[in-house]
Amino acid sequence: MKYLYGPIKSRRLGTSLGINLTSYKTCSFNCVYCQLGKTNNLTVSRSEYIKIDEIFDELRVWFDNHKEDLAGLGYITISGSGEPTLNTKISDLINQIRKISSLKIAVITNSSLLADASLRREILGVDLIVPSLDAVTQELFVKVNRPHQAIKVDDIIKGLIALRREFRGKIWLEVMLVKSLNDDIRHIRKLKEAIDRINPDKIQINSPVRTPSEEGVFSVAKSKLKKIKDILGDKAEII
């Protein structure tokens, strides 16, 4: 398969079939913890990086050849090896999937483009959005996510708040914590203030478990993750 991957068993989504919407490592972030390696196309420019018709043709063939596997799927997940919302035809793909399947659709996004109201409208047709927010100060945001220079974390937070207001589905906010980088309790308390404004359905606390491409990136101890979970409140879970 060229554009599909899986089905895979995910800690978050159960068994899901993934769809990749961008060329390899075309992303608006270059996160220190990414296990896929450094971003080779750091951009905020939206384009049809992969032709949606080609993706849909591959998906349709997969459905025809794996009818016995469909009942075990929890989600069709739009994600991949870059930032999926960079693809300008993401809404077309969502609409085409709806025509051939009743499976739930999830979008996993780094949240970088959610300040764009038109982009938010394009993804409102899914069942679940899993955005991320790893830092709430620009300085720490740059250290952890190493974003394109045009991206400001305050705009991301505003976009997430707007998404919650507009989106009728579920929002599971992921927070990726790296030891000695963004796991300071003072930062976590600031993060909680932002999350309270966003009001997601779940807060999913994560820490790198796969070997990242960067040296010096380590998981946060389980005992500290539990303390952070208590600070973030009843909606928080460690995944």
Whether the Cβ atoms of residue 32 and residue 147 lie closer than 8 Å to each other:
no
How confident is the model at residue 221, as a pLDDT?
Answer: 94
How confident is the model at residue 135, as a pLDDT?
Answer: 98
Q: Mean pLDDT, 10 residues at a time, over the chain (239 residues)?
A: 87 90 93 89 96 94 86 90 96 95 96 98 98 98 97 98 98 97 97 98 91 77 97 96
Whether the Cβ atoms of residue 126 and residue 12 lie closer than 8 Å to each other:
no
Task: Write down the CATH superfamily of domain 4-238.
Answer: Aldolase class I (3.20.20.70)
How confident is the model at residue 27, as a pLDDT?
Answer: 97
Length of the chain: 239
**1 CB-near residues (< 8 Å, 6+ apart):** 58, 62
Q: What are φ and ψ of residue 178, in 5° steps? A: -115, 135
How confident is the model at residue 211, as a pLDDT?
Answer: 63
How confident is the model at residue 136, as a pLDDT?
Answer: 98
How confident is the model at residue 238, as a pLDDT?
Answer: 96
